[in-house]
Chain A
Amino acid sequence: GEEVAQTPKHLVRGEGQKAKLYCAPIKGHSYVFWYQQVLKNEFKFLISFQNENVFDETGMPKERFSAKCLPNSPCSLEIQATKLEDSAVYFCASSQERQGASYGYTFGSGTRLTVV
């Protein structure tokens, strides 16, 4: 399809529970990115994939966050033992090329995670 599909739209978790978010990138896009948008609109880079391979994970809090992009499956971002500070909107984006310099990113509508 021509849109990046993220599910669920909203997710509420108690502190310490697991959260799993999904993203189906646009068919034909080789690169997938996850960003976290917190209060004051700040976008924080988490991780990127080239097909099913991790390309850059410098933004990931590795002790609790993990992500995968497996063939023929939606990409996923999982947070083990959620904390209040994980409350944010998580965006997935896909791109035809590594840095999106010419084509830019196509973003999904995001998953709003609320940790209570």
Chain B
Amino acid sequence: TQLLEQSPQFLSIQEGENLTVYCNSSSVFSSLQWYRQEPGEGPVLLVTVVTGGEVKKLKRLTFQFGDARKDSSLHITAAQPGDTGLYLCAGDLGAGNMLTFGGGTRLMVKP
């Protein structure tokens, strides 16, 4: 069982649709980050959320950190083919200096 559970694992949608990806844990995180990874590349940081209840927007992407800092969501509005990729959440438990990663959500947006 992973410390950070992401859902869904796979998502295939049409261009223009909205979607939400979830990242859940029973542990409390000091901060949580979302990354996007494309084939053959390393993950690229999208956002870091630190405060419980925090909402951050990045163009069509909206990130929310749960009030209890145990969960997070990523919402994409009007998805585009360029959004295709692997989305990873990663949390900082504060106990050490490494991030704990979720299993990822593989998103495909069809034109």
Q: Which residues of A pack against B, CB within 8 Å?
A: 4, 31, 33, 35, 40-43, 45, 48, 55-56, 58-59, 91, 93, 98-110
Q: Give me the interface of B with A, judged by CB distance under 8 Å.
A: 2, 30-31, 33, 35, 40-45, 48, 50, 86, 88, 90, 92, 94, 96-101, 103-104, 106
Asked if A99 meets B42 with Cβ closer than 8 Å, knowing A43-B101, A48-B97, A105-B99, the reply is: no
- For residue A40, which residues in chain B have a CB less than 8 angstroms away from its CB? 103
Contact call A109/B41, Cβ cutoff below 8 A: yes
21 CB contacts below 8 A, A to B, read A33-B98, A33-B99, A35-B101, A40-B103, A41-B86, A41-B88, A42-B2, A43-B88, A45-B98, A45-B99, A91-B42, A99-B94, A101-B48, A101-B92, A102-B48, A104-B33, A104-B45, A105-B99, A107-B35, A107-B42, A108-B42
Q: Flag if B44 contacts A107 (CB, 8 Å).
A: yes
Which residues on B sit within 8 Å (CB–CB) of A108?
42
Closest to B100 in A: A45
The answer for the CA separation of A19 and B75 in the assembled complex, in Å, is: 41
B33→A56 contact, CB < 8 A: no
Whether B42 pairs with A110 at a CB distance below 8 angstroms is yes
Contacts of A110 on B, CB cut-off 8 Å? 40-42
